[in-house]
Chain A
Amino acid sequence: MTGAAATLLRFEPVAANDGHFVRVQNVDKTFSSRGGTLKAIDNVSLDLHEGEFLSIVGPSGCGKSTLMMMVAGLSPVTSGQITIKGEKVTRPYTDVGVVFQRDALLEWRTVLDNVLLQIDVRRLRRADYEPAARELLERVGLAGFENSYPWELSGGMRQRVSLCRGLIHNPSLLLMDEPFGALDALTREQMNLDLQRIWMETRKTMLFITHSIWEAIFLADHVLVMTPRPGRIAAVIKIDLPRPRRLAVRESAQFGRYAAMIREQFQAFGLLKEL
């Protein structure tokens, strides 16, 4: 990345800090409906350090998304507490970029305006961020599409716009909920490489939710494995693979061991049955 761009985007590596960035302590989440109550999250605690990439992997319906919604302050905890930078989360936390599985682009806004939605809602000056928005779009291969509408783009391109929108205001935390889940395998691999590059350039704290074992390992410093509902933490696995990781790392013995550890967890839940 050029120096000018670094200043423009203020993507400075975050200084190493022993402090917890996100701290989830004994959090429960129960949904009540007419049919009764449903426990989605059961006594989950986790620490996310500054500049760390944490993947959460778990079966569908294990409460991964609910956990992310609670970290973002978009959904209240039933009990326990979540703190970010030592402050208790009681309302939407705003120093954050959020990327969902559905790209959540606004169909009536152009690609550039979708990225700048972040700036409009925050009542910041568009002129200050437009060059950075164009630069971000260019870096994810969307140069020339600034004035296109979302419906003119493919699924992978749309999700890239969504990623740019999550980064444009330079948040210290990026929350991603299965962002590449709806993409085809090839595009998904490319997006993983792109995301790794962005993380290495910016060293933002990232929480990444996925149900793909290899995606979780490929990107993360730590992989957190969750049980089926009610979601509990089954294991935390430290991923010790040098970066930048290439796609071929998946064929390495070490990667295979990590994958086996996670798969064994899933087998223990009775989720995977061979033969």
Chain B
Amino acid sequence: MADIVTSPETIEKKLPLRARIGIYVYPTATALFIFIVWEAVTRAGWVSSFILPAPSIIIATSFQNLPLLLEMSATTAAEFLLGFGLSVAIGLPLGALVVYARPVELAIYPLLVAFQTLPKAAIAPIFIVWLGTGITSKVLIAFSIAFFPIVIDTVVGLRSAQPETIHLVRSMGGSPFQVFWYVRFPNALPAIFAGLKVASTLAVVGAIVGEFVSSDRGLGYLVLVANGELKTPLVFACVLTLTVLGIIFYFFVEQLEKFVVRWHVSSRQIETVGTY
């Protein structure tokens, strides 16, 4: 057939090497620059070490206290992972229910939005009173902060299906479940992952807030103790550890996203760097 089409081979799927390296080089260079300035400012004695320790001191402190930091990390990680897991386990089905069951939408959705405007840090002490100072209260605080974006993005995602695709599956004799399975759910995945990524960082915040209010272990607890003893480098070491934990967690969620929704616009890399 006479037709003007490009052959599949001409469609570039990967960025050239130079562009891919750039993705890592630029942010690393920026970070290095900040650290060098920071190091210089503190070494020059312009800022006292106990107000702002030099990056080198923070790293040294981190290594000296590695066993302690790891032990505390395990507690905090367990808290935010369980809190996040609970958010997913409850947020996804709740989002689907809001979309599929009108009474649920009417009964729960406004309350959900109202609950979201509540500052969770302010009610964290109540959770401690109800559930004790152990891990359960932290998990629930992490959950209460993290589950909202998952519900909202699930709702938005499930509702964003093109009407034609739904008509199409119905014309094939598809059941409402098949419409969900073949169209609505896969179509919602990019939005759901956007929610999961926001929730993954919020869950960490929730766990720390819980530890700040009352706890006897965890990185948040260690921050309070070190701060009380004016061990500023250790406080920064905790912050560094938390950052690393958060990045690793976020990275896993993002890798999962790249694998699950590799068809989505955000995963496409078709720009090529050309020469003129």
Please tell me which one of the listed residues A106, A120, A152 contacts residue B11 in the complex, with CB atoms under 8 A apart: A152
Contacts of A139 in B (CB 8 A): 1
The CA-CA distance from A87 to B264 in the complex, in Å, is 42
Judging by beta carbons under 8 Å apart, are B182 and A72 in contact?
no
Secondary structure of the A contact surface, majority rule? loop
Interface size class of B (residues with CB under 8 A): 20 to 34
Binds B, one of A77-85, A92-100, A203-211, A266-274: A92-100
User: Of residues 108 to 160 in A, which have CB atoms within 8 Å of B's CB atoms?
Assistant: 108, 117-118, 120-122, 139-141, 144-145, 147-149, 151-152, 154, 156-157
Most buried by A among B5, B164, B172, B186: B172
Judging by beta carbons under 8 Å apart, are B172 and A121 in contact?
yes
Judging by beta carbons under 8 Å apart, are A108 and B186 in contact?
yes
Contacts of A92 in B (CB 8 A): 170-171, 173
Shortest CB distance B42–A (Å): 50
Asked if A69 is at the interface of the complex by the 8 Å CB criterion, the answer is: yes
Judging by beta carbons under 8 Å apart, are A104 and B168 in contact?
yes
Asked if A74 is at the interface of the complex by the 8 Å CB criterion, the answer is: yes
The CA-CA distance from A100 to B166 in the complex, in Å, is 12
The interface on chain A, measured as residues whose beta carbon lies within 8 A of the other chain's beta carbons, has a size of 37
Asked if B263 is at the interface of the complex by the 8 Å CB criterion, the answer is: yes
Judging by beta carbons under 8 Å apart, are B165 and A106 in contact?
yes
The CA-CA distance from A157 to B7 in the complex, in Å, is 12
Judging by beta carbons under 8 Å apart, are A141 and B5 in contact?
yes
Judging by beta carbons under 8 Å apart, are B5 and A93 in contact?
no
Asked if A264 is at the interface of the complex by the 8 Å CB criterion, the answer is: no
Residues of A at the B interface (CB closer than 8 Å) are: 69, 72-74, 92-94, 96, 98, 100, 102, 104, 106-108, 117-118, 120-122, 139-141, 144-145, 147-149, 151-152, 154, 156-157, 186-187, 190, 194
Residues of B at the A interface (CB closer than 8 Å) are: 1-8, 11, 162, 164-165, 167-174, 178, 182-183, 186-187, 189, 261, 263-265, 268
Q: List 5 A-B contacts (CB under 8 A).
A: A102-B164, A106-B187, A107-B263, A117-B172, A148-B11
